């Protein structure tokens, strides 16, 4: 008989033991039963005590009125399949007053997967124990909460944390500021954020793989980003900080000029949204149907755009026009193709016209890809309205996280200063002074007292100064915060016009982008060392090298050492602060230019000694095989 019952129930459903009285197999009669009862008595007392505490706590869902609040239980977000566990109505798996499974053999095997809706709610005893139909998780109950809803709530809290974004279509408010929270649940928010960052990353990959110049395809001196319809940065590729922080001004300038869907506009004027003249920025409105939903932006360093020396970064320049061709916001492409006149002017003012044409075409290809990817994203995920809601939610999320990170710092004011030894025209020190003030969840960065703009090219347009500040703030705050306009919203920048950090229009600015920007970031980081945990200063420069051969121009920035932090040594031979480019591979340089690399090594010990060592610099020895103009 036992064999037949085993076959019927299967190996995972053992038959219940008979409550007989004879034989050693069943416990040996009443004496054995008494021994079992004595052995199990402590467990019964413990369960009774637990039930009494549960009764003292009051009805489920009543908060902590009757006792301490239990933490979230680790339960799965999906109910088990009916066939995966023992019979629901069997005595071994019935729930007690607290909804806990008993500790019989079968109960232990199924306790981890025990999200089951029982007849009388989670705490039901007796009654009909047939399995209730499973409902999809992540649905929100309107009105009063059912007694059995606690499992859903705890499972969500386990994954998301109690202070997470309002989920499941809920409409809440920001904890600190009362601003409405988006209806997106946290998972959907992260999916949207990852999708938009993937578009920006793919734009950069397309640009790098399509470019002609070593500067872009090997060093990756380029950046890509997506802005919303209102011109706020929403997502970016992990590329060049000095490019990305200055992009909003370019989008604003192009939008004000009247850019329409299907068009691409180009700009490099440092006082109209650019950084320095070699950085050509292209902005294109992205429309889905007849509605503008975003702006795609690319910015790339072009090796030569004219000027008095190859590379368009002359050390002795005293005005912007000496540095190269100035391009205000102008349309370079429409749905029908290139604006040939604009392209002809740009390439005619470069010492490397074919390379300029190819690199601009690569930027435009990245914009075409952005249009196609956003079309597809809207088609798959709810259309332009859903995209707009997601962008607003992502910006609000980044702002909330940044404010929380700033609020964790102490209130107060901290000052710092950095001196630059000459600007290429004079040898006088130029001092950058900064005051960082934190009040609650907001930060003010004030450059009052900074020296006036100089006659050389170390001057910074306001867009570059903003880039440096935003970089330093991101270093001092939570590194997981998405880089977007929301992350910059709590920061106010005060840069007096006419100073080095807000130079007047027409000033030479080539080195402001690559040298002064790093020193501005160092000054802000030095001030933030008071309230925040930041690393020591790095090399404070991008180490620019320009080689001008007949018909060929090469530009690169050389890596150096980053300062150590309280927890680790600084990295060696990397691009720090405002640059995030790669070192040019030896093979790529020697193929592209008449150059032989004789030595490429780490400069050991240059980072200094200490409990935490600074990063070491680099040694790069070049042999020029043809006459060249060299600029350092």
b/e map of 319-346 (b: 16 or more CB within 10 Å)?
ebebbbbbbebbbbbeeeebbeebbeeb
- Examine the pLDDT at 82 and tell me if it is beyond 70: no
pLDDT at 60 over 50: no
Place of tokens 């068009």: 263
The predicted pLDDT at position 558 comes to 87
Where are the alpha helices (H) located in 105-147, listed in sequence order?
105-110
Structural domain boundaries enclosing 627 = 536-632
Dihedral, CA of residue 459, residue 462, residue 466 and residue 467, to nearest 10: -60
Q: Which residue has the tokens 């880039």?
A: 467
pLDDT for res 631 = 86
The answer to whether residue 568 is domain-embedded is yes
Residues 235 and 384 reside in one and the same domain: yes
The whole-angstrom separation of Cα 576 and Cα 463 is: 19
Per-residue pLDDT for 167 more than 50? no
Residue 387 in this model has a pLDDT that exceeds 90 = yes
Cα dihedral 388→374→231→238 (10° resolution): 110
Does the residue 199 lie in any domain? yes
CB atoms inside a 10 Å sphere around CB 4: 8
Model confidence, pTM: 0.72
Domains held by the chain: number = 2
CB atoms within 10 A of CB 348: 11
Name beta bridge partners: 300: 222, 280
- Picking from 347, 370, 395, the residue at the C-terminal end of a domain is 395
Residue 298 pLDDT exceeds 60? yes
Residue 245 exposure: Cα atoms within 13 Å on the Cβ side: 28
Angle, vertex CA 265, rays to CA 262 and CA 266, nearest 5: 150
Res 614 pLDDT > 80: yes
Per the listing, tokens 């990817």 go with 373
For residues 86-94, give the mean pLDDT.
38
- Our CA angle for 21, 25, 26, nearest 5°, is 30
Query: What's residue 389's pLDDT?
Result: 96
Task: List, in sequence order, every beta strand (DSSP E) within 153-251.
Answer: 222-228, 233-236
363-381 burial, b at 16+ Cβ within 10 Å, e below that, comes to bbbbbebbbebbeebbeee
Please calculate the CA angle 133-136-140 and round it to the nearest 5 degrees. Answer: 115
| Residue 391 resides in a domain | yes
Query: Of 45, 50, 79, 88, nearest to 151 (Cα)?
Result: 79
Bridge partner residues of 629 (DSSP)? 548
Confidence label for 316 from pLDDT (cuts 50, 70 and 90): confident
The answer to whether residues 195 and 185 touch, using CB atoms and an 8 Å cutoff, is: no
Q: What are phi and psi of 22, to 5 degrees?
A: -110, 155
Give 547: exposed, middle or buried? Use CB within 10 Å, 0-12, 13-18, 19+.
buried
Residues 337-357: what's their mean pLDDT? 96
Lowest pLDDT segment from 175-179, 203-207, 393-397, 518-522: 175-179
Decide if 301 contacts 555 (C-beta within 8 A). yes
Which band of pLDDT confidence, cut at 50, 70 and 90, is reported for residue 493? very high
Q: What are phi and psi of 596, to 5 degrees?
A: -120, 125
Task: Tell me the longest C-alpha to C-alpha distance in the chain.
Answer: 108
| Dist. CA 446–CA 80, nearest whole Å | 58
pLDDT at residue 418 in the model: 95
Flag whether pLDDT at 398 surpasses 80: yes
**Predicted confidence (pLDDT) per residue in 271-288, tens digit:** 998 999 999 999 999 999
Mind listing the pLDDT tens digit for each residue in 114-139? 322 333 333 333 334 343 333 333 33
**Predicted confidence (pLDDT) at residue 512 exceeds the cutoff of 60:** yes
Backbone Cα Rg of the chain: 33
- pLDDT-derived band at 31 (thresholds 50, 70, 90) equals low
Inside any domain, residue 600: yes
Query: What does the block give as tokens for 394?
Result: 């992502």
Residue 474 CB neighbours (<10 A): 18
- The answer to whether 306 and 350 have CB atoms below 8 angstroms apart is yes
Cα separation, 323 vs 327, in Å, equals 12
Asked if 394 contacts 482 with a C-beta cutoff of 8 angstroms, the reply is yes
In angstroms, rounded to a whole number, what is the distance separating the alpha carbons of residues 526 and 378?
44
Read off the pLDDT band of 209 (50, 70, 90).
Answer: very high
- Would you say residue 381 lies in a domain? yes
Q: How far is 543 from 45, CA to CA, in rounded Å?
A: 75
Would you state the pLDDT for residue 48?
A: 67
Bridge partner list, 434: 416
Q: Which of 342, 375, 395 is the last residue of a domain?
A: 395
Asked if the model's pLDDT at residue 90 lies above 80, the reply is no
pLDDT the model gives residue 576? 82
Do the domain assignments include residue 426?
A: no
Task: Indicate whether 15 belongs to any domain.
Answer: no
Indicate the length of the chain as a whole number.
632
- In this predicted structure, the answer to whether residue 369 has a pLDDT above a threshold of 50 is yes
Query: DSSP assignment, residue 626?
Result: S
Residue that finishes a domain, picked among 395, 419, 449: 395
Strands 279-288 and 222-228: unpaired
Residue 2 — pLDDT band, cuts 50, 70, 90? Answer: very low
Domain contains 550: yes
């Amino acid at each position: 008989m036992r064999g037949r019952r085993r076959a019927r129930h299967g190996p995972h459903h053992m038959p219940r033991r008979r409550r007989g009285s004879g034989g050693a197999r069943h416990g040996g009669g009443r004496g054995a039963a008494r021994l079992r009862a004595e052995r199990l008595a402590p467990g019964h007392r413990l369960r009774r005590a637990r039930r009494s505490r549960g009764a003292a706590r009051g009805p489920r869902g009543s908060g902590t009125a009757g006792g301490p609040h239990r933490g979230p239980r680790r339960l799965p977000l999906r109910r088990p399949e009916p066939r995966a566990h023992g019979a629901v109505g069997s005595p071994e798996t019935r729930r007690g007053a607290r909804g806990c499974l008993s500790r019989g053999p079968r109960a232990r095997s199924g306790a981890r997967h025990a999200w089951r809706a029982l007849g009388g709610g989670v705490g039901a005893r007796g009654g009909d124990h047939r399995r209730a139909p499973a409902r999809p998780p992540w649905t929100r109950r309107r009105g009063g909460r059912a007694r059995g809803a606690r499992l859903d709530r705890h499972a969500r809290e386990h994954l998301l944390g109690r202070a997470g974004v309002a989920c499941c279509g809920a409409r809440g408010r920001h904890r600190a500021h009362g601003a409405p929270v988006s209806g997106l649940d946290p998972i959907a928010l992260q999916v949207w954020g990852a999708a938009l960052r993937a578009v920006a990353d793919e734009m950069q990959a397309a640009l790098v793989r399509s470019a002609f110049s070593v500067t872009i395809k090997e060093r990756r001196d380029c950046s890509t980003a997506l802005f919303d319809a209102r011109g706020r940065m929403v997502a970016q590729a992990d590329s060049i900080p000095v490019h990305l922080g200055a992009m909003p001004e370019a989008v604003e300038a192009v939008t004000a000029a009247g850019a329409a869907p299907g068009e691409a506009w180009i700009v490099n004027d440092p006082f109209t949204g650019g950084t320095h003249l070699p950085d050509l920025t292209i902005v294109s409105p992205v429309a889905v149907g007849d509605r503008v939903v975003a702006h795609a932006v690319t910015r790339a360093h072009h090796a030569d755009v004219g000027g008095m020396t190859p590379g368009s970064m002359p050390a002795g320049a005293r005005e912007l026009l000496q540095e190269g061709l100035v391009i205000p916001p102008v349309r370079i492409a429409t749905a029908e193709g290139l604006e040939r006149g604009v392209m002809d002017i740009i390439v005619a003012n470069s010492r490397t016209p074919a390379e300029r044409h190819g690199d601009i075409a690569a930027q435009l290809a990245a914009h075409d890809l952005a249009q196609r990817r956003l079309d597809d994203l809207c088609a798959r995920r709810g259309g332009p309205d859903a995209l707009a809601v997601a962008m607003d939610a992502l910006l609000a999320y980044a702002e909330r996280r940044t404010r929380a990170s700033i609020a964790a710092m102490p209130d107060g004011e901290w000052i710092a200063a950095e001196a630059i030894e000459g600007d290429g025209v004079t040898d006088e020190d130029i001092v950058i002074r900064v005051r960082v003030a934190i009040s609650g969840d907001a930060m003010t960065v004030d450059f009052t007292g900074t020296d006036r703009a100089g006659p050389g090219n170390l001057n910074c347009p306001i867009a570059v100064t903003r880039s440096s500040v935003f970089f330093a703030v991101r270093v001092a705050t939570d590194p997981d915060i998405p880089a977007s306009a929301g992350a910059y919203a709590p920061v106010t920048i005060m840069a007096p016009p006419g100073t080095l950090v807000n130079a007047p229009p027409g000033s030479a600015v080539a080195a402001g982008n690559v040298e002064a920007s790093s020193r501005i970031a160092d000054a802000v980081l030095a001030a933030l060392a008071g309230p925040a945990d930041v690393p020591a200063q790095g090399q404070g420069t991008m180490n620019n090298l320009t080689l001008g051969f007949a018909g060929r121009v090469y530009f690169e920035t050389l890596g150096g050492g980053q300062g150590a932090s309280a927890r680790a040594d600084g990295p060696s031979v990397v691009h720090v602060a405002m640059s995030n480019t790669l070192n040019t591979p030896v093979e790529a340089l020697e193929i592209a230019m008449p150059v032989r690399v004789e030595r490429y090594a780490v400069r050991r010990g240059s980072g200094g000694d200490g409990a935490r060592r600074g990063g070491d610099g680099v040694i790069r020895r070049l042999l020029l095989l043809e006459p060249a103009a060299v600029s350092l």
